[in-house]
Structure 1
């Protein structure tokens, strides 16, 4: 989180939250947060999440549109954290700050625990794919509710629009790479079954898993109109990106993930063969996010840059795989 935003937050905002959301006395506690202040609270033994998001990151209208979409998924039976309204029946509440404002929002806390075995749990991988596929099937029927603004398109995200200000002379080439991959993705034909409003960030940090290996997904902060393939690419990217043998472990994971996905939604071969574009976009976006929100000495940032900055300069693919053959294998094995 940017230092100037941290400086705007104060304890009085917590008191506002306590008046808007019923909660057990003394239950409010800070969890952290990368782009928002995230708290947990309880009410009658039920756990909830509370977020304070500064307007420099997301406007109130954008968060209202996020919650409208999440509520649609919830009503469709998707496994998501249910939005919680204020005492006044609103998804959000605006709290003025010395610069801009904070938007207050809340959801039920997802049930389950974080997973540590995504590469070794076939049932979980299948459910992971099915969860993403079910989201994509559900989004095909989504229309914003009355008085809800349409959510932004992927290339209008503030991190992309403001990319130049996070770069300096040592990494300015990132801007050229970013513009190139954006233009390539924009050329992909759009259809109802490959493009719509999606999560855009479904990695293991944004879902919990229950004892039956079912996922509950949360944090739709980055949801945007984008190609469905992006969600699949994100799932793969974050599962293997720090694995020293990522090229080897990725193939069986991708096959299992796609088999699950295709139980819920179609995936055309012509779309899947473009997945390296989405891997590259995510590599660049994460670089920018870390440059914006962390210090150069941050261990995660140092590790990420040591692996991927040189790969970007040399235009190396994220994975050395034959995607055509991989897709055909999934198709054949799914028919058995």
Structure 2
């Protein structure tokens, strides 16, 4: 999540950055449907086709990670996987470093994927099975993915733990969170790691980041911004956690098995995935906590009402997450 000061709508900034690509000038009214979280995303049209401009301040992002994300997307599409397609800029680059009066930003443009967000439609058994298949196929492709330059690969779960440790240095009172970092670092050292259970994951394969196209009865994934090298169980646990929020409790076990059946139909040889879920949940809980902590750290004397409300909501979520630190797995 971006720091709160970057969550303001700025149509002038978006339009300035968008000039690096072709667009229909009359489509600027689509900016009203913007969203900002880990990035700012502004929709527009080019020759009538919907495109998505994504950008974030350079101090909030890692250029190697962004370039690696785009490389992985090209790989997935080359292998006919349903993922976002990147649109090159006027200069032919997929990642633009844009200098503006508001600062310097990394930006890319993507074509809109077909279908509807899984979080906005009725999840029947066929769609749930397809959802699991989409994640299984993603992991199967990840098993054989080799980045063009090893030194420019996406960061790993270890890098993420190191990043969290660095962030927490600015918060000396956060001893419980720091202890959680060290606990997970030691815990993961003992896990088996091979090409069948560890690789480049999506990390955020939740219902709002997967679209289902009724026409071809298949799923399309978006928002690979949080990708990292981790155990595939991390993706599965995150997906099931997202599913749990949308399914009636008495239906969850049956829907979970549908998802997992779809997953294993594409992922390859089965292994004990579910025993890894508790530690994966601990990792996601801590990572979410540290990102929110960093986001809300800076405060201003005259914050708009929406920001004060968001800050209060994030602080409530952080309290819930902190209560889970230190528990045995």
- 1:275 pairs, out of 267, 277, 294, with 277
Q: Tell me the residue number matched to 2:314.
A: 301
Cα deviations across residues 236-289 of structure 1 (Å, max 9, x unaligned)?
12222587x76x554223211110011101354334322211012112222222
Quote the offset at 1:85 in angstroms.
0.9
Q: 1:227 to 1:313 in 2, by over 3 A?
A: closer
Do residues 231 (structure 1) and 235 (structure 2) align? yes
Q: Aligned pairs, how many?
A: 312
Cα deviation, residue 183, structure 1: 2.4
Extract unaligned runs of 5+ from structure 2: 297-306
Cα deviation for residue 155 of structure 1 reads: 2.4
Residues 300 and 207 (structure 1 numbering): CA distance in 2 closer, same or farther, change over 3 Å? farther
Q: Is the 8 A contact 1:236 1:250 kept in 2?
A: no
Tell me how far 1:203 sits from its aligned partner. 0.6
Q: Classify 1:296/1:23 alpha carbon distance in 2 versus 1 (closer, same or farther; 3 Å).
A: closer
Aligned-residue offset at 1:45 = 2.0
Partner of 1:24: 24
SS at match of 1:262: helix
Q: CA 1:183 to 1:146, structure 2 compared with 1: closer, same or farther past 3 Å?
A: closer
Which sits farther off after the overlay, 40-49 or 207-216? 207-216
Whole-Å separation in 1 of the counterparts to 2:13 and 2:316? 38
Does 2:234 correspond to 1:218? no
Question: CA deviation digits over 1:58-89, x for unaligned, max 9?
Answer: 23332111100011011111111111111222
Are 1:192 and 2:195 an aligned pair?
A: yes
Do the aligned partners of 1:166 and 1:291 also contact (CA within 8 Å) in 2? no
TM superposition shift of 1:21: 1.1
Dislocated runs of 4+, deviation >6 Å: none
Deviations 1:200-255 (A, max 9, x none): 11111212222255321111111111111111011012222587x76x55422321
The answer (yes or no) to whether the contact 1:95–1:101 under 8 Å persists in 2 is yes
Deviates more, 1:33-42 or 1:286-295: 286-295
Cα 1:153–1:91 change in 2 (3 A) is same
TM-score normalised to the size of structure 2? 0.82
Change (3 A) 1:148 1:205: farther
Shift of 1:154: 2.0
Question: How far did 1:13 drift?
Answer: 5.8
Query: TM-score normalized by structure 1?
Result: 0.81
1 or 2, which has the higher helix percentage? 2
Q: CA deviation at 1:119?
A: 8.6
Secondary structure of 2:241 counterpart: helix
Structure 1 unaligned spans of 5+: 318-336
Name the residue aligned to 1:207. 210
SS in 1 for 2:238: helix
CA 1:161–1:75: 2 relative to 1, 3 Å: farther
Kept in 2: contact 1:118–1:239 (CA 8 A): no
How do 1:1-336 residues align onto structure 2 when only pairs under 5 Å count?
1-5=2-6, 11=12, 14-18=15-19, 20-28=20-28, 29=31, 31-96=34-99, 101-116=104-119, 120-145=123-148, 149-157=152-160, 160-165=164-169, 167=171, 169=173, 172-212=175-215, 213-240=217-244, 249-266=251-268, 268-294=270-296, 297-298=309-310, 300-301=313-314, 304-305=317-318, 307-310=320-323, 312-313=324-325, 315=327
